[in-house]
């Protein structure tokens, strides 16, 4: 299995532990990642579509040449790309205009044939959770994990969870169970983490972060897992501020999806970069080592 790999900005920037963890885990699963280097940021819904669509069309044109499916490790990259791809696929006139105005000078054109999938979807839809299960050497027994999706992996539903792919609504829960962990459901698992409004409305942002992590904790979770590094920036990076905002201790470790997979496949917490998180991951390391001992 080989994928054109779009790592996104944050896996190398704000969450530098994510990129190596994803690479190590993919390697273990025998998934070949051909990293896209000569491409730009997806725009994350912040850049105007007028400029992010051409930038993303350029990326997709390169992937199309490679003849591969593109893999992301970020809900936001995934959402932005799926939406851009939908516009480019459903409106040939629009696609032609972008090809001519922006890509032709570089000898590129995009014909609208690329498929884009998040690592989480690939695990279930292409790799197969049963196959993943066979590789689990350290089941996450005793670990109570609250799933947190990140908005863009679920919405807009007609694009992100289309007919025939309804399993995407619960794939994170199924993955946790596959790895031997226990799922802790929260009401906010599909809602916004708060990150997008950190600069415009900090109080609301922290309230969201606090609500999600506190609810998980109250329901007995000892960690949360997310396939979105932007959610991680908020839920991990801003958790201390959120605790202050809520006037309560939280201390809930937040795992990146590849980290959780890697731990079950036998990699050490250090290999997975757990020490780089702002919220201490000591408690889950202890739980897992208790199991392993």
Partner 1 sequence: MEITLKFYRFSPGNGSKGDFQEYPVEIDESATVLDALMQVKEDQDSTIAFRGSCRTGFCGDCTMRISRRNRMACSTTVGAAQNEGTITVEPVRLITTTKDMMYDLDTWVYDKYKAVEPWIETDQKSPDKEHVVSNKVVQDLRKVMSCTMCWLCDEGCSTMVVDRKFVGPLALTKAYRSVFDPRDNRTEARLKNLSEKNGMWDCCHCYEASEHCPKGIDPTERIFALRNKAIKANAGIPTVRNHYRSFAKSVKSHGWLDEARLAIETEGLTNIKGQLKQVPLAIKAFRKGKRPLPYFLHEKREGRDRIKRIFEKWEENE
Q: First CA to last CA across the chain, in angstroms?
A: 34
4, 22, 33, 44: which one contacts partner 1 (CB under 8 A)? 44
Query: Per CB under 8 A, which of residues 109..128 are in contact with partner 1?
Result: none
Least spacing, CB of residue 186 vs partner 1, in Å: 12
**Total residues interacting with partner 1, rule: CB under 8 A:** 56
Give the number of residues written for the chain: 293
Residue 180 binds partner 1, judged by CB under 8 A: no
Residue 6 binds partner 1, judged by CB under 8 A: no
Q: Where does 196-240 show beta strands of DSSP type E? A: 223-226
Residue 66 binds partner 1, judged by CB under 8 A: no
Residue 171 binds partner 1, judged by CB under 8 A: no
Residue 101 binds partner 1, judged by CB under 8 A: yes
54, 147, 227, 262: which one contacts partner 1 (CB under 8 A)? 54
DSSP lists the bridge partners of residue 5 as 35, 71
Least spacing, CB of residue 221 vs partner 1, in Å: 19
- Is 126 exposed, middle or buried, given 0-12, 13-18 or 19+ CB atoms closer than 10 A? middle
User: b/e map of 200-236 (b: 16 or more CB within 10 Å)?
Assistant: eeeeebbebbbbbbbbbbeeebbbbbbbbbbbbbbbb
Task: Answer yes or no: are the C-beta atoms of 227 and 120 closer than 8 Å.
Answer: yes
Residue 55 binds partner 1, judged by CB under 8 A: yes
Residue 271 binds partner 1, judged by CB under 8 A: no
Residue 275 binds partner 1, judged by CB under 8 A: yes
Task: Answer yes or no: are the C-beta atoms of 176 and 183 closer than 8 Å.
Answer: yes
Residue 277 binds partner 1, judged by CB under 8 A: yes
12, 65, 244, 292: which one contacts partner 1 (CB under 8 A)? 12
**CB closer to partner 1, 63 vs 140:** 63
**CB closer to partner 1, 54 vs 262:** 54
**CB closer to partner 1, 137 vs 199:** 199
The 8-class DSSP code of residue 73 comes to: S
Q: What whole-number distance in Å separates Cα of residue 167 and Cα of residue 173?
A: 10
Residue 51 binds partner 1, judged by CB under 8 A: yes
Residue 14 binds partner 1, judged by CB under 8 A: yes
Using alpha carbons, list the distances in angstroms from residue 273 to 106, 127, 146, 219: 39, 24, 20, 26
123, 192, 250, 263: which one contacts partner 1 (CB under 8 A)? 192
Q: What whole-number distance in Å separates Cα of residue 37 and Cα of residue 39?
A: 6
Smallest CA-to-CA distance from 120 within 220, 251, 1, 258 is with 258
H-only helix segments in 43-90: 49-66, 75-90
The CA angle 178-15-40, to the nearest 5 degrees, is 105
Least spacing, CB of residue 147 vs partner 1, in Å: 16
Residues that bind partner 1 (CB under 8 A): 9-10, 12-17, 37-41, 43-48, 50-51, 54-55, 58, 101-102, 105-106, 151-152, 155-157, 188, 191-192, 194-197, 199-201, 203-205, 207-208, 211, 237, 241, 273, 275-278
């Amino acid at each position: 299995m080989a994928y054109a790999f779009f790592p996104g900005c944050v896996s190398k920037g704000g969450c530098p532990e994510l990129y190596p963890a994803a690479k190590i885990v993919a390697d273990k699963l025998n998934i070949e990642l051909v990293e896209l280097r000569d491409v730009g940021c997806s725009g994350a819904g912040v850049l105007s579509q007028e400029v992010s669509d051409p930038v993303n069309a350029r990326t997709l044109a390169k992937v199309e040449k490679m003849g591969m499916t593109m893999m992301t490790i970020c809900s936001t990259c995934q959402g932005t790309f799926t939406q851009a791809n939908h516009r480019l696929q459903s409106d040939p006139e629009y696609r032609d205009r972008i090809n001519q105005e922006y890509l032709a000078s570089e000898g590129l054109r995009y014909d609208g044939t690329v498929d884009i999938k998040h690592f989480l979807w690939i695990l279930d839809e292409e790799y197969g959770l049963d196959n993943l299960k066979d590789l689990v050497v350290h089941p996450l027994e005793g670990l109570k994990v609250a799933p947190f999706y990140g908005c863009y992996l679920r919405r807009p539903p007609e694009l992100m969870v289309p007919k025939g792919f309804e399993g995407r609504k619960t794939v994170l829960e199924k993955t946790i169970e596959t790895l031997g962990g226990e799922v802790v459901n929260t009401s906010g698992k599909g809602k916004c983490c708060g990150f997008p409004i950190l600069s415009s409305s900090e109080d609301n942002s922290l309230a969201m972060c606090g609500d999600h992590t506190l609810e998980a904790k109250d329901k007995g979770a000892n960690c949360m897992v997310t396939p979105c590094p932007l959610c991680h920036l908020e839920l991990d990076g801003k958790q201390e501020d959120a605790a202050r905002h809520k006037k309560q201790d939280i201390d809930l470790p937040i795992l990146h999806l590849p980290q959780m997979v890697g731990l079950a496949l036998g990699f050490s917490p250090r290999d997975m970069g757990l020490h780089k998180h702002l919220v201490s991951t000591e408690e889950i390391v202890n739980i897992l080592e208790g199991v392993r001992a």
